[in-house]
Structure 1
Amino acid sequence: FLSMSSIAQKMGHSTAAATGMVDKLQEMGYLTRMSAAKDRRKIMVAITQEGRELVDRMRQNIVRDLAALMAGTDHEARQAIADTGKSIKKRRLG
């Protein structure tokens, strides 16, 4: 579960913008929204099975597209892509 403020912070947007996004994703069946057990004013968001399946498909498409991109590049370009991936991973984990 994530709170609306956590989602907004991860997006780098306002809570209002995050709320709009969550509204749409909930309408589409990808998220559920509920009140927190300890503070019913706080809204918590969770991904549904349909949402997980969408994320899995998106990841598979990214991997497929990246593999196709890398297959048509030379060694220097592949190294640049690998270095970029390492940099992204460091930022995400840091």
Structure 2
Amino acid sequence: MSKVYWIAAYRAIKNADALAAYGKFAGAAIQSGGGRFLARGIPAQVYEQGLQERTIVIEFDSLEQAIATHDGSAYQAALKALGDGAERDIRIIEAN
């Protein structure tokens, strides 16, 4: 069975306090949904149109698990805490 990766690329952080509040809820919601954090932080190097902003890679065992986690009430509460505190690009992709 192939793994699934949830990739969050931040474009801008507008409110560090809102991001911190989001983080308190999001980490627990993702882990309880079966997600495993593989990498998170500021890129060591960027190329092309890459931004020197926070990036997170999370592994799940299935696409259904990743989507259910994102759409579930616990993660939605985390998003509510974040509000408009950050601009992000979230992608969920299946590995080959």
If the length of structure 1 is used for normalisation, what is the TM-score?
Answer: 0.32
Higher RCO by CA contacts (8 Å cutoff, separation 6 or greater): 2
- Greater Cα radius of gyration, structure 1 or 2: 1
Specify which structure has the higher proportion of helix.
Answer: 1
Question: Relative to total residues, which structure has the larger strand share, 1 or 2?
Answer: 2
